[in-house]
Amino acid sequence: MAEVTGGEVVVRTLQAHGIDVVFGLPGVHALAIYDALYAHPELKHIAVRHEQTAAYMADGYARVTGRPGVCISTTGPGAANTAAAMGTAYFDSVPVLNVMSQVPSNLVDRDKGALHEPKDQLGFFRAVTKWNARASDIEHIPAVLHEAFRTMLVERPRPTQVEVCTDHLAGRVDSEAVPWVMPPQSFPRRAAEPRLVEEAARALVSAEAPIIWAGGGVNRAGAWEELVRLAEALQAPVVTTVQGMGAIPHDHPLALGYRPYDRTLTPLIERADLLLAVGTRFAGGQTANWNLKLPSRLIHVEIDEGEIGKNYPAASGLIGDARLVLGQLLTALGGHRAPECWAGDVAALRSKVAGSLKEAGPQEMAVLDDIRRAVDRDAILVWDQTKPAYWAARAFPVYEPRTFLYPGYGTLGYGFPAALGAKVGRPDRQVVCIAGDGGFQYALPELATAAQFGINVTVLLFNDNAYGILKVLQDMDFQSHYYAVDLLNPDFGRLTEAYGLHYELLKGPDGLSPALRRALESDRTTIVEVPVDFGRPTAWPSPPPRAAGKPRRRDRGGS
Ligand SMILES: Cc1ncc(C[n+]2csc(CCOP(=O)(O)OP(=O)(O)O)c2C)c(N)n1
Ligand SMILES: [Mg+2]
């Protein structure tokens, strides 16, 4: 009779679900999981310096691979440290599973003052997860973990949390008594109702000027090939949201290339007589807070039923996985090929938008050009909340799916740790993190993680010795009362070298492309520090990152 611990049941169940890497930081209550990891070196564990990083790494890993990212945290404060990252994954619909320990089962939620005792840890995480549960005993562990995976893989991918009490993790049972749950080869995805698909196909064929709106669901579901084929069949231009970037290559003749909220695109969207929206919830940031007018004939393809009709009324809702539903639509369309109706407009609009962007933010756009020129077509770019990132969200050319990682939640400090996770998921790709001096310092100690595990990313560090964007807002909206926005920064070069990593300091944005290329050739994580003074933009990349309710004074331009 072979005995297993609860920790071993966790590890084996993760492995059964295809997990071969986890990110975490141990604590006393979780040590039985770590003991099982010790016995299973084939399940790689990346040890981080802060639990938040573990969850961001799981997020970055999940976004680039399309597979769930798993992090491990320990009871109470360790687990709570992952909250901002879980919230980010929730906002952006990323499948992150957070496996955590709990105090001994006889002490849960009794407020007796046990070590690390959290108040209602399940309730705490309910706010940032789609589904969460505690295993009631060792035998229950496989079923709970399985349900977490099923929820993320079959339904809308959002984070989940599973907790196991420390006595259950350390307890032992006969392996044969454990009701192991083996996942199917692949989880069945939901397809849309055939009658609705037929109806939608008829509407698509009869439309004279259809356009397609591609959201993050296209990237999450791996539906980009179907999307492009459908766009070509309908000759419909495609506009992508920030999370949908890369769903159609930027240089495809039907790619509008820029975000839907771009005012220059508004006339085109308003001229359309049908909008096919795929894998999107029409979030405020993509619709100028729902002020964007959309065609009244809206066909909405969404895995989450609750999103249909929530932000915009839909003439038709096709509930299902984006890849499956687009495939159903293609089948229903047969060999239909619409005549070209927009082609000239797309090219003309693209160059109009590009021109207006260059006028509005010449420095920022020049920096984006330099970055694009230096990296491979399929390089993964991970953006923190630094000034050039707002322009990137509006205008960065993306050619491949799952290569543009941007926290829709607006999370400062996301970039560097998510880039590390992305590199673990796609070691074959260039991975570049673009961060400001403020955001990068959230995860500064993770330079150690990069060094220890040989994770080779490039960090472009835009240093203005400030929370620059907030300084601009204090300037514009609060009579230049600069407060808590100037930063005394360390010597990033000496710091990087102390970790045994590489570093290059530029004089300014000039020479960014060659420096970035040099860094990408490096055999270890390299920081390229770029001193910058972007000043105040002459126009905001819309939607502007402004304080709610503040009047917009667009006329006050100039830096
Ligand atoms: C977790 C979190 N805390 C605070 C903020 C508010 N915030 C947004 S941008 C920013 C300043 C960013 O400074 P830096 O990274 O140096 O970029 P810069 O604007 O200077 O280019 C802050 C504090 C946020 N978005 N997220
Ligand atoms: Mg800064």
Share of the chain above pLDDT 70, in %: 96
Which numbered atom of ligand 1 lies nearest the CA of 410? 25
Region of poorest pLDDT, from 185-189, 233-237, 276-280, 326-330: 185-189
Cβ(321)–Cβ(190) below 8 Å: yes
Whether the bond between 543 and the residue before it is cis, its omega within 30 degrees of 0, is: yes
Nearest to 196 by CA among 57, 20, 329: 329
What atom in ligand 1 is closest to the CA of residue 412? 26
Residue 459 bridge partners (DSSP):
433, 527
Are the C-beta atoms of 418 and 466 separated by less than 8 Å?
no
**Across the chain, what does the average pLDDT equal?**
94
Q: Read off the DSSP letter of residue 187.
A: P
Note the pLDDT tens digit of each residue in 116-136.
Answer: 999 999 999 999 999 999 999
Q: How high is the pLDDT of residue 179?
A: 96
DSSP assignment string, 325-347: HHHHHHHHHTT--PPPSSHHHHH
Cβ atoms of 284 and 290 within 8 Å: the answer is: yes
Report the alpha-carbon distance of residue 233 to residue 336 in Å, rounded. 6
Does 88 sit in the ligand 1 pocket, CB within 6 Å?
A: no
Question: What digits encode the pLDDT tens for the residues 395-438?
Answer: 899 999 999 999 999 999 999 999 999 999 999 999 999 999 99
| pLDDT tens digits for range 442-471 | 999 999 999 999 999 999 999 999 999 999
Confidence of residue 540 (pLDDT cuts 50, 70, 90): low
Give the ligand 1 atom nearest the CA of 435: 15
**Residue with the nearest Cα to atom 24 of ligand 1?**
412
Check: CB of residue 55 under 8 Å from CB of residue 71: yes
pLDDT (tens digit per residue) in 239-256:
999 999 999 999 999 999
Question: CA 526 to CA 521: how far, in whole Å?
Answer: 10
Q: What is the pLDDT of residue 535?
A: 80
Q: Which contiguous run of DSSP H or E holds residue 23?
A: strand 21-24
Residue 100 Cβ contacting ligand 1 at under 6 Å: no
Q: Give the closest ligand to the alpha carbon of residue 85.
A: 1
Residue minimizing CA distance to atom 10 of ligand 1: 467
Read off the pLDDT band of 358 (50, 70, 90).
confident
d(CA 311, CA 306) in angstroms, rounded, equals 10
- The three-class DSSP label of residue 97 is strand
**Rounded CA gap, 213 and 236, in Å?**
10
Closest protein CA for atom 20 of ligand 1: 468
Q: How confident is the model at residue 328 (pLDDT cuts 50, 70, 90)?
A: very high
Max Cα–Cα distance, the chain, nearest Å: 77
439 pocket-lining for ligand 1 (C-beta < 6 Å): yes
Q: Is the pLDDT assigned to residue 558 strictly greater than 70?
A: no
Check pocket membership of 413 for ligand 1, CB cut-off 6 A: yes
Helix axis angle, 194-206 to 322-333, nearest 10°: 60
Residue written as token pair 């495809």: 252
445 Cβ closer than 6 Å to some ligand 1 atom: no
Ligand 1 within 6 A of CB of 57: no
When pLDDT is cut at 50, 70 and 90, the band that residue 353 belongs to is confident
Does residue 412 line the site of ligand 1, with CB under 6 A?
yes
Nearest alpha carbon, ligand 1 atom 21: 386
Q: What CA–CA distance (Å, rounded) separates 365 from 362?
A: 5
**Does the CB atom of residue 410 touch ligand 1 within 6 A?**
yes
Whether the Cβ atoms of residue 379 and residue 519 lie closer than 8 Å to each other: no
541 lines ligand 1 (CB under 6 A): no
| pLDDT score of 157 | 97
CB of 34 shorter than 6 A to ligand 1: no
Confidence (pLDDT) at 1? 66
Q: What is the pLDDT of residue 557?
A: 32
C-alpha 372 to ligand 2 mean position (Å): 21
Mutate to test the pocket of ligand 1, among 91, 386, 469, 536 (most ligand atoms within 8 A of CB): 469
d(CA 414, CA 283): 20
In whole angstroms, how far apart are CA 461 and each of 379, 417, 458?
Answer: 18, 14, 9
Contacts of 183 (CB under 8 A, 6+ apart): 16, 17, 18, 146, 149, 150
pLDDT band at 231 (very low <50, low <70, confident <90, very high): very high
User: Does ligand 1 lie within 6 Å of residue 509's CB atom?
Assistant: no
**CA 263 / ligand 1 centre spacing (Å):** 25
Query: Is the model more confident about 348 or about 5?
Result: 5
* Ligand 1: residue whose CA is nearest its atom 12: 467
Q: Is the pTM of this model over 0.85?
A: yes
Distance 216 CA to ligand 2 centre (A): 28
467 CA: nearest ligand 1 atom: 13
**Whether pLDDT at 536 is above 90:** no
The answer, yes or no, to whether residue 45 has pLDDT greater than 70, is yes
Q: What is the pLDDT of residues 55-72, one digit of tens each?
A: 999 999 999 999 999 999
Contacts of 501 (CB under 8 A, 6+ apart): 447, 450, 451, 524, 525, 526, 527
pLDDT of residue 343: 67
Q: What was the pLDDT predicted at 546?
A: 55
Atom of ligand 1 nearest to the CA of 442: 1
- Which of 440, 460, 467 to mutate to test ligand 1, by most ligand atoms within 8 A of the CB atom? 467
DSSP letters for 499-550: TT-EEEE-SSSTTHHHHHHHHHHSSS-EEEEEE----S-SSPPSSP-PPTTP
The average pLDDT across 129-156 equals 97
pLDDT band at 556 (very low <50, low <70, confident <90, very high): very low
Mean pLDDT computed over 515-541: 90
Backbone angles phi, psi at 444, to 5 degrees: -50, -45
CA of 319 to the centre of ligand 1 (A): 37
pLDDT band (50, 70, 90) for residue 261: confident
Q: What mean pLDDT do residues 291-318 have? A: 95
558 CB neighbour count, 10 Å cutoff: 7
